[in-house]
Amino acid sequence: MKYETDMGKTELDTEATVNSYTFSGDGTLYYFTSTEGLYRYKAETGKAELIRACDEETMYAVLSCDGTRIYLDNRNNRFYYNEASEHRIFVCDLEGKLINSIPGGINITELADGDNLYTKAFAAGENGGEFRSYIKNSELTAPNAEWMLVDRQAWNALVVTENRR
């Protein structure tokens, strides 16, 4: 598999089926296989390291990374593995250690690019509309962390607030 980013080309030699992948800000490749789990691959060493084993809840995880955390979204588990599984976002540090597991209760459909203040996501409305949601990064470790639903104007205000800091 070959990946090309702003930092150059990365080539990964693996027999595994990669379900999802993401890059951190330093160009490290994180990828997920449903048979083994979450790997970290550093191009400079050419080595892949299993940093988190998959389980029934994360078997078909979709990855994203904001440079300080990796997010494993298990929304595909319901389609490919277990219809009754609860939609959750598993927040891990860059070593694969679980920080928190947050319910995707408001129909999170896709994680969006976050920043140093907010983790952002898109959510589906009941009538097919799309909404935006966020969690303050300072609340990611809270046992009762939950997504806050906002409209497009409030979403844009989050960006404006961040740019002023």
Domains of the chain, by residue range, sit at 1-103, 114-165
In terms of C-beta density within 10 A (0-12 exposed, 13-18 middle, 19 or more buried), how is residue 108 classed?
buried
Cβ neighbours of residue 127 under 8 Å, at least 6 residues apart? none
Give the confidence band of 141 by pLDDT, cuts at 50, 70, 90. confident
Q: Which CATH architecture has domain 1-103?
A: Beta Barrel (2.40)
CA atoms of 9 and 12, how far apart (whole Å) = 10
Q: Is residue 70 within 8 Å of 83, Cβ to Cβ?
A: no
Q: Determine how many CB atoms are found less than 10 A away from the CB of residue 80.
A: 11
The candidate with the shortest Cα–Cα distance to 111, out of 129, 94, 88, is 88
Give the confidence band of 162 by pLDDT, cuts at 50, 70, 90. very low
Render pLDDT for 65-82 as a digit per residue (tens, 0 to 9). Answer: 888 888 888 877 766 666
Complete edge-to-edge strand list for the sheet that includes strand 62-65: 62-65, 69-73, 88-93, 98-103
pTM: 0.76
pLDDT at res. 7: 47
